[in-house]
Chain A
Amino acid sequence: MTDGLPFALTVPKWGMAMVEGTVTAWHVEEGAAVEAGVEVLDVESTKIASGIETKHAGILRRRVAGVGDTLPVGGLLGVIAGASVSDAEIDEFVRGFVIEAPEDEDADAGPATDTVRVGERKIHYLATGEGGVPVVLVHGFGGDLNTWMFNQPALAADRRVYALDLPGHGGSSKDVGDGDLANLADTVAGFVAAIGVERVHFVGHSLGGAISLSCALDRPDMVASLTLLASTGLGAEINGDYIDGFVAAGRRKDMRPVLRALFADQELVSRQMIEDVLKAKRIDGADDALAALAARQFPAGKQSVSLIGRSGALAMPTQIIWGAADGIVPASHAGVVANAKVTVLDGVGHMPHMEAAATVNRLILELLDAAP
């Protein structure tokens, strides 16, 4: 425990559209000691709910916001401080607290995204943070860069972090070529070259994991470390009904059950999350791209590509994180890569970076800090 100055717990900004958050539960009593990384309370936005962890060890000295209170992004939720700080100093801290204006961005717009050309394709991405060997976040089938909304801010505290939209997804070009894994990996490697860096840490989820793994196998000099979350490419099984359902769904009532299969806690699927997924799928070419990828990667409810045979050659620090309750790609695939650190999280589904964001962020940062 530190005896440090008071630290503010504030409403985070999850994704570009978030303007406020509502407190739904406190997990720590006033006066209780907390370690760094512990989830202190839960907050929900119109899109999703998640825990708020403290970056600093100390005592939860004050719950400033009560359950049901809605605060703007950056608003003061609570105060962590050491025992030596007086109550008067805590009062003063709360009274004097000012919401920090976001850096380099319009108050409404959030951090700006950008695009870069990779071959014939336009790749849309969000870059935040500065310094170090950059991190590249690669989302899965049907996702986009917003899948990292709970992770990118934490990972970008001390380094540059890029979240990209894969071809066929989000704001990137809809052309996915033949949908082959090597084609996708070439585009991601081309993205790394296009942003002008030589080495990156890859964090890939699901199909983005297989793409990251493919990059690491074919271009080991480019990859400083590898974190695979519920990755494809590590076995044959996959939930074919999920893939087919996701491609087919064009309406809310069809998409809701599909997205609920992603999570152990299915209540996390909000109406806004469904709407955002549908908006992305309505763009001309998006459904065709998804269908082409599904046909190539996951024909007849099986994964077509296995990289297990080659994965023994990985020399960079590698970890695999999986949710034990994954309903899309079975958690039994987590242990197949030699020399990888494996973490399987109980009570978590196919989206560990959303459902267990604090734990996943800690695991990724540990690997980044340890990588040469």
Chain B
Amino acid sequence: MARVISYRQALGEAFDQEMSRDETVIMMGEDIAGGQGAPGEPDAWGGDMGITKGLFGKHGAHRVLDTPISESAFIGAAVGAAATGLRPIAELMFVDFMGVCFDQIFNQAAKFRYMFGGKATTPVVIRTQIGAGYRAASQHSQCLYPLFTHIPGLKCVIPSSAYDAKGLMISAIRDDDPVIFFEHKVLYDEVRDDVPEEPYTIPFGEANILRDGGDATIVAFARMVHFAKQAADKLAGDGIECDVIDPRTTSPLDEDTIIESVEKTGRLVVVDESPPRCNMASDIAGLVSQNAFGALKAPIKMVTAPHTPVPFAPELEDAYIPSPEKIEAAVRDAVGYGA
């Protein structure tokens, strides 16, 4: 049954169990087998973060494919393989590099089912890292999931726990539509929780509720879920009880759970590590103001990164990332509004 493992281990277990179950599941990416600079042996790296290490030896060179450093080529190949019968998991190191293969994702993978009259499926998973806090500068630290959430035809998954990472990854692999799977790089080893040994699936569009409270609703994604929980735990010490909601997927989005919560609490704080224009915080603020306006007792608060590139200077990067303290202050503002 359940045992405690890391977010990193949970993902590796999902890949291994699905590759064992279904031989059409293959893995593609840069340095996921040997890799540039490796001392010659296969399976030297397991990708830049070592997430896929061990799969090459177990499932073979014909299913764990090292690709050239050409994202547009291998993402296109993965989309084509998915359209013709395989279930590829393509690892595109950092979401920041996704720009060079937008056509393969936005115009091809996302459109096949629709433009072929519902007769085509594209069961590809594109895995990618998001998030600041790794001292990796502006081109390796963005979140960017709002860009993909914007595109009809893509499913967008953002796990915050090891349990969610495994169950959502297995759901992603078995899904017949293209899934963009966003892994926050700081969580790989920081997050450890109960994960069943058996394979299991978590449905898309089903939010996780981490805490129940009647005073305010906090909606957060990825690493921000943990900061929101910290803030809510602290606020509870002062008698302010919050619902903490992790939607887990931005597309589809579990709108009902968010709206029902705000109808109960009357206050909403949305926490999003991406910059504030056209991000998930503004999207959910719009959703709630359209559907639960009458329940609101205070203006909706957004806690986001500023509208700037992610800074490289450590002090500035730390200031850029939304913090538990900023979330706590936003909840206090909302609860104290009009008082």
**A contact set with B: CB distance below 8 Å:** 113, 124, 170-171, 250-253, 271, 275, 279, 282-285
- In the complex, the answer to whether B1 meets A113 with C-beta atoms within 8 Å is yes
- In the complex, the answer to whether B256 meets A124 with C-beta atoms within 8 Å is no
- In the complex, the answer to whether B198 meets A283 with C-beta atoms within 8 Å is yes
**Within 8 Å CB of B202, what residues of A?**
282
The interface centre, meaning the residue of B1, B198, B200, B201 with most chain A CB atoms within 10 A of its CB, is B1
The interface centre, meaning the residue of A251, A279, A282 with most chain B CB atoms within 10 A of its CB, is A282
Q: How far is the CA of A275 from the CA of B211 in the complex (A)?
A: 12
> Given A251-B203, A253-B256, are A282 and B167 neighbors across the interface (CB < 8 Å)?
yes
- In the complex, the answer to whether A284 meets B198 with C-beta atoms within 8 Å is yes
Contact of A283 among B199, B209, B257 (CB under 8 A): B199
**Interface: B206 (CB within 8 A):** yes
> Given A252-B206, A253-B256, A271-B209, are A282 and B201 neighbors across the interface (CB < 8 Å)?
yes
**Interface: B212 (CB within 8 A):** yes
Instruction: Scan residues 199-227 of chain B and give those whose CB is less than 8 A from a CB of chain A.
Output: 199-203, 206, 209, 212
Q: How far is the CA of A165 from the CA of B240 in the complex (A)?
A: 39
Q: How far is the CA of A124 from the CA of B196 in the complex (A)?
A: 13
Main secondary structure of the interface of A (DSSP, over half): mixed
- In the complex, the answer to whether A283 meets B196 with C-beta atoms within 8 Å is yes
The 5 A-B pairs of least Cβ separation, nearest first, read A171-B1, A282-B200, A284-B199, A283-B200, A283-B198
Q: How far is the CA of A124 from the CA of B71 in the complex (A)?
A: 46
Closest B residue to A251 by beta carbon equals B206
10 A-B residue pairs with CB within 8 Å: A113-B1, A170-B1, A251-B203, A253-B256, A271-B212, A275-B209, A283-B196, A283-B200, A284-B199, A285-B198
**Within 8 Å CB of A251, what residues of B?**
203, 206
Nearest CB of B to A145, in Å: 10
Q: How far is the CA of A124 from the CA of B200 in the complex (A)?
A: 18
- In the complex, the answer to whether B256 meets A284 with C-beta atoms within 8 Å is no
Q: How far is the CA of A253 from the CA of B198 in the complex (A)?
A: 25
**Within 8 Å CB of A279, what residues of B?**
196, 200
Q: How far is the CA of A162 from the CA of B203 in the complex (A)?
A: 33
**Within 8 Å CB of A124, what residues of B?**
1
Chain B, interface size category, equals 10 to 19
Chain B 1-20 interface 0/1 with A at a Cβ cutoff of 8 Å (1 = within)? 10000000000000000000
Contact of A284 among B1, B200, B203, B206 (CB under 8 A): B200
**Within 8 Å CB of B209, what residues of A?**
271, 275
**Within 8 Å CB of B198, what residues of A?**
283-285
Nearest CB of A to B188, in Å: 23
Closest A residue to B208 by beta carbon equals A275
12 new A-B contacts, CB < 8 A, other than A113-B1, A253-B256, A279-B200, are A171-B1, A251-B203, A252-B206, A271-B209, A282-B167, A282-B200, A282-B201, A282-B202, A283-B196, A284-B198, A284-B199, A285-B198
Instruction: Scan residues 42-91 of chain B and give those whose CB is less than 8 A from a CB of chain A.
Output: none
Q: How far is the CA of A252 from the CA of B209 in the complex (A)?
A: 10
Closest B residue to A170 by beta carbon equals B1
Instruction: Scan residues 85-138 of chain B and give those whose CB is less than 8 A from a CB of chain A.
Output: none
Q: How far is the CA of A252 from the CA of B206 in the complex (A)?
A: 8
Closest B residue to A274 by beta carbon equals B209
Q: How far is the CA of A49 from the CA of B209 in the complex (A)?
A: 19
Q: How far is the CA of A284 from the CA of B200 in the complex (A)?
A: 5
Instruction: Scan residues 241-281 of chain B and give those whose CB is less than 8 A from a CB of chain A.
Output: 256-257
Q: How far is the CA of A176 from the CA of B130 in the complex (A)?
A: 43
**Within 8 Å CB of B196, what residues of A?**
279, 283
Q: How far is the CA of A124 from the CA of B209 in the complex (A)?
A: 28
Contact of B203 among A171, A250, A283 (CB under 8 A): A250
The interface centre, meaning the residue of A171, A284, A285 with most chain B CB atoms within 10 A of its CB, is A284
Q: How far is the CA of A47 from the CA of B202 in the complex (A)?
A: 20
**Within 8 Å CB of B167, what residues of A?**
282
Closest B residue to A46 by beta carbon equals B212
Closest A residue to B199 by beta carbon equals A284
Q: How far is the CA of A283 from the CA of B203 in the complex (A)?
A: 12
**Within 8 Å CB of A271, what residues of B?**
209, 212
Closest A residue to B17 by beta carbon equals A284
Q: How far is the CA of A251 from the CA of B248 in the complex (A)?
A: 14
Closest A residue to B1 by beta carbon equals A171
Nearest CB of A to B238, in Å: 14
Q: How far is the CA of A170 from the CA of B1 in the complex (A)?
A: 8
**Within 8 Å CB of A253, what residues of B?**
256
Nearest CB of A to B79, in Å: 27
**Within 8 Å CB of B200, what residues of A?**
279, 282-284
**Within 8 Å CB of B257, what residues of A?**
252
Nearest CB of A to B26, in Å: 21
Nearest CB of B to A301, in Å: 27
Closest A residue to B196 by beta carbon equals A283
Closest A residue to B257 by beta carbon equals A252
Q: How far is the CA of A253 from the CA of B212 in the complex (A)?
A: 16
Closest A residue to B209 by beta carbon equals A271
Nearest CB of B to A314, in Å: 35
Closest A residue to B256 by beta carbon equals A253
Q: How far is the CA of A69 from the CA of B257 in the complex (A)?
A: 29
Closest B residue to A172 by beta carbon equals B1
Q: How far is the CA of A202 from the CA of B202 in the complex (A)?
A: 35
Closest A residue to B202 by beta carbon equals A282
Nearest CB of A to B211, in Å: 9
Q: How far is the CA of A26 from the CA of B61 in the complex (A)?
A: 66
